[in-house]
Amino acid sequence: MSKTMFCSDDSTTKEVDLKRSVLTDLETVSNDISKLDSDITGWDGSLLTALPLLSDVSTLESDIKTATTDTEASSAFDDSDSASVTSEVESLQTLIATTLSDLVDKESEVAAIGFTSTVQSNLKTLESLANDLLIALEAKVTSTDATTVKTAATGIDSSFASAISAY
């Protein structure tokens, strides 16, 4: 038996790990958004308790950047990976819509502590980062799934537009 039979191709192993990493990154982003939404809905309107929300946003920004970088470094997804990623994107669309709606519901409280411009700026940054990620994902999924990702991206854009205009 040849030694090479027992060795794995490093590039194949790295690519499989990278594709798994993209899905894990998306799950992390989902968890970040869930935490942000929970903190938004639990926020009592005070300045002091708004600080953890800023930390949530910072973490989310960082994790979206990581997901984008990993996606861009990955080769095209096979059917299975594409389906998993697309399903996660659809779940994210719903979660983002809920979170942004909950944030809009807190607009008067945000205004009362003078954070309107901060929230609007953060929303614009998150919208841009989300768009970058969705463009990268659309380029890696199958053509059928790309249509679904594009539809989800349109919904996410709409949710951000509504939230930004509220602030």
| Domain contains 81 | yes
| Domain contains 1 | no
Q: 130-158 pLDDT, tens per residue?
A: 999 999 999 999 999 999 999 999 999 99
pLDDT for res 20? 72
| Domain contains 2 | no
Residue 68 sits in which domain range? 13-166
| Domain contains 4 | no
pLDDT for res 13? 53
| Domain contains 55 | yes
| Domain contains 8 | no
Q: Which residues of 56-79 are buried (b: 16+ CB within 10 A; e: fewer)?
A: bbebbbebbebbbbbbeebeebee
Mean pLDDT, range 56-70, rounded to an integer: 98
How many distinct structural domains can be found in the chain? 1
pLDDT for res 155? 99
| Domain contains 154 | yes
Q: Which tokens in the block code for residue 94? A: 């719903």
- Reference 157, options 125, 120, 130; nearest CA is 130
| Domain contains 50 | yes
We report the CATH number of the domain holding residue 47 as 1.20.58
Q: 74-124 pLDDT, tens per residue?
A: 999 999 999 999 999 999 999 999 999 999 999 999 999 999 999 999 999
Cα–Cα distance measured from residue 23 to residue 150, given in angstroms and rounded to the nearest whole number = 18
